[in-house]
């Protein structure tokens, strides 16, 4: 009898969800048993579904209905299939009003954990809900918040905030829970490790085009301020700060605006620089003036650029710059905190130890390693985060001796293996000769030197953004030669008795063959085009538009500007096409060696390609000028639009492929070789949450409405209904298996103050 009643209530609740939330509230007020009935297959009650649909007013009414029946805690503690109670879902959505409504009745839910071991505070951080997290944190009593901020696997809110790319939230967490900066999860990963795994969170990890680079530098981003949301300042606020009365002392200024006082010290003027009368130094005023001018110019440029096509890109660039500025700020906070533990030599290892791979072991390395295989500087070197590497070495010079726990690789070996040329070049130019020599002569557990690792083929994620196999081979050869010439390596063979040259030959055999095939095929095609252009150019140079004077042999149209252009362009087309033809023939018959891919073949290819492009442009100019001379007077100006259209097509082609041409030139002539920055995105491109953590409105509530009868009752379409996308995930109730799904389900407006 009881089961029949519950089944009936389940069907009734499902129908009510399909029509109106008002009916659900009435059922909750009338039937106490409806409070604990799980409607969906994933174990959600009507309250779970209301929270997930962001029905703030409905949630409030449902909670009041439950409270009047006296079993509030039992109902609010009900978990769905994922172990989430209503507060977990409300925190994931970032709704402070729903969180307040639930916690006012049952504060114990703040410490409840779901199936993943997350408390509501962890859920709020996992989905980047800063305001909800700060509110929930404030509701915790005493020291309970610290325990609620940690997961069962050791991860805490700081780990999750950095992992999800929510740097503004991470900054607020650091201000409230400073001890979390020293925390580790079960795998020994610290927050600094997590940040080191996000190269795109730093400026050095993203490549911008020229226009985007200009816009990026024009965007002004304020640093995060403790205890307050991110400030948004404009030109007028900067002007107001600049024209403050010069007689105000630094102390007075700090009382009015503490951040402003800190800004003075950033300009290199501490309290000792201020005069006896307490006036702000002239250089500080000068720095403010320059800052204002820079801000003014930046804003003007942004206004100009914003009216151009693609202005929506500015918003994306602003988000990226916020990420970069705030990530740098978080990194500095973490490293400044670590500096208090004094990076120094461990007394056990005052001498180089063979047990630890001929390297000094730093106390900082052990402290930051925890149970992890790598220290943060090794992770940063592997991912090419220049900002973190330079800052760590600035604060803790002994970090250059940190090694991987298993393969013994240090920062130099990591940079070489992962093709981080800018990191390697930075380490190569360090002033500390002894540290540099020891670090560069280190070997891994297979006795591979940096040169052995440079001889190995780069991973796919490093090569996928290099357009052709020839350029890939060129980069590999140049990188190997650059490492070879940078330091003298005493060890010639590794544990497998292989020299670096043997490793390079074996690893790059397939790439070399592929490069040769591509080069020969391209040269063959270009040679055919060059020969065709040379034939046409020779024929056009032999013909004279307008004819010649029969008596003198002088061209009749000799003094026309178009004739001069015709003559020069035909000669240029013939010369360049012949040069291109000869160069490509030379490439085709040459015997390619590995060292030829460094400069010889790429330079020949560049010269041949450039000559071919010039000959094409000259041939087109020759045709247009000759055609202009042959047309009658009334048709000359009618042909100008055709010439202009042809020129626009050519210009578009040039602009489209010019960046690739520039990259080819840089790859050929620049030393050391620079791997394209955008190829580093493959290392760790995500700056958002993992896909496995879907929003609760999609996965936390799997079903929202039951199947309705085949001939559903006609109801008016109210404004507060369950979202349409839930009807595909509905639980089938046995009593109505032959039912259909109502098509009148619509999404309700969040926070509706009343029912329709």
pLDDT in tens, 82-105: 899 999 999 999 999 999 999 988
- 100 phi and psi angles, rounded to 5 deg: -65, -45
48 closest CA partner among 36, 64, 57 = 36
Tens-place pLDDT, residues 654-671 = 777 677 677 778 777 776
Which DSSP string do the residues of 698-722 spell out, in sequence order? TTT-----PPBPSSPPP----SS--
What pLDDT is recorded for position 563? Answer: 78
Partners of 156 in the β-ladder: 150
Cβ-contact 425, 672 below 8 angstroms:
yes
Quickly state the pLDDT bin for 298 (edges 50, 70, 90).
low
Cβ-contact 628, 636 below 8 angstroms:
yes
Domains of the chain (ranges plus CATH)? 203-270+282-339 (no CATH), 347-376+403-509 (1.25.40), 511-547+555-680 (1.20.140)
Helix extents (H) in 340-444: 363-369, 376-383, 386-395, 411-417, 421-428, 433-440
Tens-place pLDDT, residues 272-295 = 343 434 444 444 556 667 666 766
Count other C-beta atoms under 10 Å from residue 534's C-beta: 21
CA distance 22 to 20: 5
Distances (CA, A) of 8 to 2, 26, 40, 71, 480: 10, 15, 14, 22, 75
> Burial of 81 by CB count in 10 Å (0-12 exposed, 13-18 middle, 19+ buried)?
middle
Half-sphere exposure (CA, 13 Å, Cβ side) for 354? Answer: 1
Which DSSP string do the residues of 542-602 spell out, in sequence order? HS-TT-B-TTT--BTTTTSHHHHHHHHHHHHHHHHHHHHHHHHHHHHHS---GGGGTTHHH
Cβ-contact 110, 119 below 8 angstroms:
yes
What pLDDT is recorded for position 687? Answer: 32
What pLDDT is recorded for position 195? Answer: 94
Q: Which residue has the tokens 């250059």?
A: 400
- 482 phi and psi angles, rounded to 5 deg: -65, -45
Q: Kindly compute the dihedral angle of the four CA atoms of residues 275, 277, 280, 282, in this order, to the nearest 10 degrees.
A: -60
CA distance 748 to 725: 12
What pLDDT is recorded for position 287? Answer: 66
Quickly state the pLDDT bin for 606 (edges 50, 70, 90).
confident
Angle among Cα 178, 183, 184 to the nearest 5 degrees reads 160
Q: Reply yes or no on whether the pLDDT at 352 is more than 50.
A: no
SS3 459: coil
What pLDDT is recorded for position 734? Answer: 35
92 closest CA partner among 122, 124, 133 = 124
**Token pair of 469 as six digits:** 């196999």
Residue 494 CB contacts under 8 Å (≥ 6 apart), including other chains? 443, 446, 447, 448, 449, 452, 503
State the maximum Cα–Cα separation within the chain, in Å, rounded to a whole number. 122
Indicate the DSSP class of residue 678: G
Lowest mean pLDDT, pick from 174-188, 286-300, 383-397, 519-533:
286-300
Quickly state the pLDDT bin for 736 (edges 50, 70, 90).
very low
- 743 phi and psi angles, rounded to 5 deg: -100, 10
**Token pair of 454 as six digits:** 């440079």
CA distance 411 to 564: 62
- Say what percent of the chain tops pLDDT 70: 67
Q: Tell me the average pLDDT across 686-714.
A: 38
CA distance 375 to 366: 8
Distances (CA, A) of 221 to 57, 407, 593: 37, 41, 51
What pLDDT is recorded for position 388? Answer: 93
What pLDDT is recorded for position 173? Answer: 93
If residue 732 lies in a helix (H) or strand (E), which one and from where to where? none
Tens-place pLDDT, residues 358-402 = 334 454 544 445 567 888 999 999 999 999 999 999 888 888 888
85 closest CA partner among 700, 699, 695 = 700
Q: Reply yes or no on whether the pLDDT at 713 is more than 70.
A: no
Cβ-contact 370, 184 below 8 angstroms:
yes
Count other C-beta atoms under 10 Å from residue 391's C-beta: 19
Tens-place pLDDT, residues 547-598 = 666 767 666 666 677 778 888 888 898 999 999 999 988 888 776 666 667 6
Q: Kindly compute the dihedral angle of the four CA atoms of residues 35, 39, 44, 50, in this order, to the nearest 10 degrees.
A: -70
CA distance 439 to 416: 12
CA distance 621 to 533: 13
CA distance 133 to 176: 12
SS3 385: coil
Helix extents (H) in 31-166: 46-52, 56-68, 72-76, 86-93, 96-103, 120-126, 130-139, 144-148, 157-163
- Say what percent of the chain tops pLDDT 90: 19
Cβ-contact 737, 41 below 8 angstroms:
no
What pLDDT is recorded for position 132? Answer: 93
What pLDDT is recorded for position 134? Answer: 93
């Amino acid at each position: 009898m009881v089961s029949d009643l519950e089944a009936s209530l389940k069907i009734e609740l499902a129908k009510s969800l399909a029509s109106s939330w008002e009916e659900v509230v009435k059922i909750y007020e009338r039937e106490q048993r409806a409070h604990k009935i799980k409607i969906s297959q994933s174990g959600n009650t009507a309250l779970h579904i209301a929270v997930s649909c962001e029905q703030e007013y409905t949630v409030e009414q449902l909670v009041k209905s439950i409270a009047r029946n006296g079993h509030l805690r039992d109902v609010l503690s009900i978990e769905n299939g994922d172990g989430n109670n209503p507060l977990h879902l409300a925190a994931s959505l970032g709704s402070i009003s729903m969180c307040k409504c639930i916690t006012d009745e049952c504060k114990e839910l703040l410490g409840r954990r779901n199936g993943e071991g997350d408390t509501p505070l962890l859920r709020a951080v996992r989905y980047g809900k800063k305001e909800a997290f700060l509110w929930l944190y404030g509701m915790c009593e005493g020291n309970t918040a610290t325990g609620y901020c940690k997961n069962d696997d050791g991860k805490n809110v700081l780990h999750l905030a950095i992992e999800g790319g929510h740097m503004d939230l991470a900054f607020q967490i650091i201000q409230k829970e400073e001890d979390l900066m020293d925390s580790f999860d079960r795998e020994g990963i610290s927050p600094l490790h997590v940040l080191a795994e996000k190269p795109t969170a730093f400026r050095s990890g993203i490549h911008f085009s020229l226009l985007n680079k200009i816009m990026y530098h024009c965007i002004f981003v304020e640093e995060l301020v403790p205890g307050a949301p991110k400030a948004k300042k404009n030109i007028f606020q900067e002007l107001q700060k600049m024209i403050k009365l010069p007689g105000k002392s630094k102390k007075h200024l700090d009382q009015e605006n503490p951040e402003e006082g800190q800004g003075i010290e950033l300009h290199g003027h501490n309290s000792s620089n201020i005069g006896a009368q307490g006036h702000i130094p002239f250089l500080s005023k000068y720095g403010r003036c320059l800052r204002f001018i820079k801000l003014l110019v930046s804003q003007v440029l942004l206004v100009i650029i914003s009216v151009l096509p693609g202005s929506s890109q500015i918003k994306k660039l602003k988000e990226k710059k916020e990420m970069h500025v705030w990530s740098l700020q978080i990194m500095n906070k973490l490293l400044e905190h670590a500096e208090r533990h004094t990076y120094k030599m461990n007394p056990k290892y005052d001498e180089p130890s063979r047990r630890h791979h001929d390297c000094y072991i730093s106390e900082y390395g052990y402290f930051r390693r925890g149970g992890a295989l790598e220290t943060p500087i090794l992770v940063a070197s592997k991912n090419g985060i220049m900002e973190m590497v330079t800052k760590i070495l600035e604060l803790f010079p002994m970090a250059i001796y940190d090694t991987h726990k298993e393969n013994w690789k240090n920062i130099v070996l990591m940079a070489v293996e992962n093709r981080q040329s800018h990191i390697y070049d930075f380490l190569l130019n360090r002033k500390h000769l002894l540290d540099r020599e020891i670090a560069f002569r280190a070997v891994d557990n297979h006795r591979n030197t940096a040169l052995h690792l440079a001889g190995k083929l780069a991973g796919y994620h490093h090569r996928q953004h290099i357009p052709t196999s020839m350029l890939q081979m060129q980069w590999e050869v140049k990188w190997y030669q650059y490492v070879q010439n940078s330091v003298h390596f005493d060890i010639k063979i590794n544990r497998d008795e292989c020299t670096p040259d043997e490793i390079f030959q074996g690893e790059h055999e397939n790439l070399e063959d592929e490069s040769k095939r591509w080069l020969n095929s391209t040269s063959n095609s270009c040679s055919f085009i060059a020969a065709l252009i040379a034939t046409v150019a020779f024929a056009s140079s032999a013909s004279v538009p307008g004819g010649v004077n029969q008596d003198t042999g002088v061209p009749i149209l000799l003094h026309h500007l178009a004739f001069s252009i015709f003559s020069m362009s035909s000669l240029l087309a013939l010369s360049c096409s012949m040069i291109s033809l000869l160069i490509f023939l030379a490439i085709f018959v040459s015997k390619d060696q590995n060292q030829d891919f460094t400069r010889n073949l790429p330079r020949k290819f560049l010269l041949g390609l450039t000559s071919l492009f010039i000959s094409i442009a000259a041939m087109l100019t020759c045709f247009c000028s000759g055609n202009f001379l042959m047309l009658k007077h009334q048709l000359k100006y009618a042909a100008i639009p055709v010439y202009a259209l042809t020129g626009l097509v050519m210009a578009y082609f040039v602009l489209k492929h010019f960046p690739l041409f520039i990259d080819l030139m840089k790859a050929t002539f620049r030393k050391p070789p620079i791997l394209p920055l955008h190829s580093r995105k493959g290392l760790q491109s995500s700056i958002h949450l993992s896909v496995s953590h879907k929003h609760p409105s999609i996965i936390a509530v799997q079903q929202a409405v039951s199947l309705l009868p085949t001939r559903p009752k006609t109801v008016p379409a109210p404004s507060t209904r369950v979202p349409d996308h839930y009807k595909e995930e509905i639980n089938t109730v046995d009593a109505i298996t032959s039912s259909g799904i109502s098509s009148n389900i619509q999404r309700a407006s969040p926070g509706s103050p009343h029912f329709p």
